[in-house]
Amino acid sequence: MREPIVISTPLSPEVISRLRAGNRVLIRGAVYTARDAAHRRLAECLRKGEELPFDLSGQVIYYTGPAPAPPGAVIGPAGPTTAGRMDPLTPPLLRAGLKGMIGKGERSPETAEAIRSAGAVYFAATGGAAVLLARTVGKSEVAAYPELGPEAVRRLEVRDFPALVALDTYGGDLYREERKKFKIGNSESGGGGHSEF
């Protein structure tokens, strides 16, 4: 198995151009948390032509709402939420310069195409590993919308945050490619070619 690719934020076009669906990465630098409520606020800012509370250029948004930090910890458990819920609000953020997203699950075909067209990338993080993922966070501070509580935008400083490239800027789709392998594997192994899972 190949070693993970270490990447730093903000993401440059050169870094994004090296990534392919299926690559394992370790992310270092700042990432911003934002879930449904924060996405609605950011999209509304853009719709009104207002300035965003932070510069999205080259940035990575992590779809998470961290739990409160226990004593002595920087942040509480911070696992990925379902990325598809953010699909309707993703294109305007991409047009504003967003280059990376971290979540779990597939994106809609329209969002996948918007990611490709914007020269961006979507990373999949492991669901159910919220405590382990939180251990990669060295610093956490509210960056916008404190009134949203757990859904406030936070700026996290991460080191070696593990993820997989799920959608690359060339149209590569890890979910689609793995489904193909699954179907071929069943067919060739005498499993009757059953393709549902």
Under DSSP, the state recorded for 53 is S
3-state secondary structure 171-183: CCEHHHHHHHHHH
Helices (H), 21-173: 36-47, 90-95, 109-117, 130-134
The Cβ of residue 45 has, within 10 Å, a number of other Cβ atoms equal to 16
Q: Which of 35, 39, 41, 116 is catalytic?
A: 39
Active site residue 194: no
137-144 and 121-124 strand pairing: unpaired
Q: Is the peptide bond before 71 cis (omega within 30 degrees of 0)?
A: no
Spatial distance between the Cα atoms of 44 and 193, rounded to a whole number of angstroms: 47
Output the CA–CA distances (angstroms, integers) from residue 29 to 7, 57, 166, 172, in the order listed: 9, 14, 20, 25
Active site residues: 39
